[in-house]
Structure 1
Amino acid sequence: MDDRHDILCIGSVLWDVIGRTDRAMRVGSDVPGRIARVPGGVAMNIAMALARLGLRPELLTALGRDPAGEELLEAARRRGIGTEHVYLSDDLPTDAYMAVEGANGLIAAIADAHSLEAAGDKILRPLADGRLGNAAAPYRGTVALDGNLTFELLGEIAASPLFAGADLRVAPASPGKAERLLPLLDHPRATLYVNLEEAGLLAHRSFDSSADAARALVAQGAHRVLVTHGGRGCSLACGDLLLTETPPEVLVARVTGAGDTFMAAHIAAEIRGAEPPAALTRALEAAALYVSGDTPL
């Protein structure tokens, strides 16, 4: 068993190409701004945030044996993120993500995570072959899992003895992939991190508040759920417990990766022993700092 890390981050690791402008945009807008290429993907964003918070994350993902993949491996290592168990493919290219953000938020995005999907359960081999665990002695640490994996693989994870002892922290990659998490909705060891739209997709209904959404998902079988709603109230529900808190008000400079930062900060606070109200507060403060642009990438 590998004890050189604090948490496994399983899912997408890719290059984010993000165009940002301080002007409001609509379909067809052509405006000046800045374009950046930075490490991204849900699993990578969570890992980077965890590393900034002083934890030691380890990646389980798929990268191509290409220059883009080699650059990502080096970028992860520089940030204190473990890459020993990354699956490297000779025939699949490294994935990518492209987004445009304006003063009025995310305008559009395309996620190309086809290589991660094609790699399938190959990325989980270290959990089965003894390097990180096996069916007889499953991994018992914290696992951050993202919805860029296929519906079929997430279903296998939900029923797998390899994850029977893990503290699962699960997030969809986007509203478009939220329903991939349905196999994990009633998992007895899973905490779901979703926004209001994603909660509605999982529950097959719409909600007016994060509190209503969190209560509904728990009633539907979720063990524990955190529902964010931008700058409005964020709610945590688990059994009879319901907490709601409003994030600090900040000037929004970026949005891509904010939910991943929130999730990472909440996990880090709980790993260090914070009680539910304090962990929720720390997560909201970290996300606010990130969207304000004051957190380095």
Structure 2
Amino acid sequence: MDKTHDILCIGSVLWDVIGRTDRSMRVGSDVPGRIVRVPGGVAMNIAMALARFGMRPDLLTAIGHDPAGTELMEAAKVRGIGTEHVYLSEDLPTDSYMAVEGANGLIAAIADAHSLERAGDKILRPLADGRLGTVNAPYIGPVALDGNLTTQLLREIATSPLFAKADLRVAPASPGKAERLLPLLDHPRATLYVNLEEAGLLAQTVFESSAEAAQALVEKGAHRVLVTNGGKGASLASGGDVLTQTPPEVLVARVTGAGDTFMAAHIAAEMRGVDATGALTAALEAAALYVSGDTPL
């Protein structure tokens, strides 16, 4: 089996096209700003952050065998991210994401991850054919899994012997896809990373705080969960214990990718052996640095 990586990142890898302005916006606003095109997607954002934190991530995803895909693969490689197990499709285009951000946060976004969804379980073949594992000798190690996969595929992963020994770290792609994670809610080896809105969607209620949300999800069967709430408290719950910390105050320069940075920083800290309190602190500090604009893309 391949031993050239520390963690698998499974999910969306695509191009982000993001327009940013330092002005507040509303529907119909037309303001000056900057437009950037950068590698993105939840799995890619997590992988890039993990690489910055000294880990060696490897991607399991679908990328089109087209110029955009070739460029994206090269962008991953130069960032220290493994691509040898990526499913390259001859008939599906490389996915993309488009967002508009103002001084008052994310205004709107559209995720075109249809190729990943159509590729389905083809992206998981290396976990079954011996390259990364088999049914009888499943992959051992951390796996960052994102909610851009279809509900059906996430349901299969929840019960698949291919993931029986993996340390699953799971995040929704967006609040609109949070409920896709329900099959993994009570997985005995899964840690869920959600924001307050996503936690509410999973629990079908509205929460006032991250601590309340984290405890409620554990009571619903979650093995371990981390709930963020923007600049307010973030909470880790496991069993009957809840740990809450407040992130550093910073001026917000960007928001897309902040949750992925938080997740990656937390995983990297735990892989270094940092305790629960220290790992949560490290994750909050990394996310604050990211949203302030002081972390490179």
Q: For the superposition of Structure 1 and Structure 2, which TM-score range results when normalised by the shorter chain?
A: over 0.9
| Structure 1 match to 2:293 | 293
Superposition deviation, residue 31 in structure 1: 0.2
2:287 paired with 1:283 = no
Q: TM-score, normalised by structure 2?
A: 1.00
In 2, the alpha carbon distance for the partners of 1:100 and 1:92 equals 26
Superposition deviation, residue 189 in structure 1: 0.1
CA offset digits 1:162-214 (Å, max 9, x no partner): 00000000000000000000000000000000000000000000000000000
| Structure 1 match to 2:221 | 221
| Structure 2 match to 1:186 | 186
| Structure 2 match to 1:148 | 148
AA of the residue aligned to 2:162: L
The 5-angstrom pairing of residues 24-63 of structure 1 reads 24-63=24-63
3-state SS, counterpart of residue 30 of structure 2: coil
In 2, the alpha carbon distance for the partners of 1:274 and 1:135 equals 32
3-state SS, counterpart of residue 23 of structure 1: coil
| Structure 1 match to 2:242 | 242
Superposition deviation, residue 240 in structure 1: 1.6
In 2, the alpha carbon distance for the partners of 1:242 and 1:82 equals 35
In 1, the alpha carbon distance for the partners of 2:140 and 2:38 equals 32
In 2, the alpha carbon distance for the partners of 1:162 and 1:241 equals 30
| Structure 1 match to 2:113 | 113
In 2, the alpha carbon distance for the partners of 1:54 and 1:187 equals 28
CA offset digits 1:131-152 (Å, max 9, x no partner): 0001000001100000000000
In 2, the alpha carbon distance for the partners of 1:122 and 1:241 equals 39
> Percent of pairs identical after alignment?
84
In 2, the alpha carbon distance for the partners of 1:134 and 1:275 equals 32
AA of the residue aligned to 1:285: E
In 1, the alpha carbon distance for the partners of 2:145 and 2:166 equals 11
CA offset digits 1:88-117 (Å, max 9, x no partner): 000000000000000000000000000000
AA of the residue aligned to 1:53: F
Superposition deviation, residue 261 in structure 1: 0.1
Superposition deviation, residue 225 in structure 1: 0.1
2:83 paired with 1:87 = no
3-state SS, counterpart of residue 97 of structure 1: strand
3-state SS, counterpart of residue 288 of structure 1: helix
Listed as ranges, the gaps of 5+ residues in structure 1 are: none
In 1, the alpha carbon distance for the partners of 2:21 and 2:4 equals 40
Aligned structure 1 segments of 4 or more residues deviating by more than 2 angstroms? none
3-state SS, counterpart of residue 120 of structure 1: helix
In 2, the alpha carbon distance for the partners of 1:22 and 1:3 equals 44
